[in-house]
Amino acid sequence: MFIVLIIAALAIFVLPNLWAKWVLKRHTRGRDDYPGTGAELADHLLRRLGIEGASVERTEFGDHYDPETRCVRLSPDNYDGRSLTAVTVAAHEVGHAIQHHQGYAPLLARSRLVGVAQKAEKLGAILMMAAPFLFLLTRLPGGLALVVVMAVISFGTAALVHLVTLPVEFDASFNRALPLLKEYVPPYDMAGARHVLTACAFTYVAASLASVMNLGRWLVILRR
């Protein structure tokens, strides 16, 4: 049974990330028939859609959209790359800028929760370091309930952020980016674009499952 659980955990947490990396790498070949790089497409889309105040920057910390600075940030390969992966990732991040511009509620909720989650994660780290004292606390009247509440607040907030992230990412990919890509990517490349967007989405699904399972694991530990 233990071996089965290990295999299941690997399938949930490791395989989606490996698959996503493989898919992204598969489509990173430079394309001379593409009119621009990922950064150029992102900048063009922002201007074309009238998203004022938004910008595009190169980053070393992974592709993402920053709502606070209204900035689409792309990794060097996607910023400078003229490939299917580069333009697809760029369109996805512009999808988040569109969500922000239109006041998409799940994105705004995630942005608010992220700050709370960061504080909750610090609380979770304190819980882990204070584990020996927690075992003593749970033997006091009401101590177990207090520890369980603390764990739920800490790890539950992180799980909630991941769950809210799912509709945000799927909407940015398939409701925002995909229709835009149909206007810029050759029809024979659209299957690959969907492949890239789907692979990336699965990494968020895996992260959400991991977060929920982490919460469940702590609840089981604290109830013993």
Q: What are phi and psi of 166, to 5 degrees?
A: -55, -55
Helix segments in the chain, DSSP class H = 2-13, 15-26, 38-48, 76-80, 84-102, 105-129, 131-137, 143-170, 178-181, 190-223
Give yes or no for a contact between 158 and 211, defined as CB atoms under 8 angstroms apart.
Answer: yes
Q: Is 37 left (phi over 0), alpha (psi -120 to 50) or beta?
A: beta
Q: What are phi and psi of 175, to 5 degrees?
A: -100, -25
The SS3 assignment for 200 reads helix
Catalytic-role residue among 40, 93, 121, 183: 93
Give yes or no for a contact between 197 and 174, defined as CB atoms under 8 angstroms apart.
Answer: yes
Q: Is 68 a residue of the active site? A: no
What does DSSP say about strands 64-66 and 71-74: parallel, antiparallel, or unpaired?
antiparallel
Q: What are phi and psi of 77, to 5 degrees?
A: -65, -35
Q: Looking at the annotation, which residues are catalytic?
A: 93
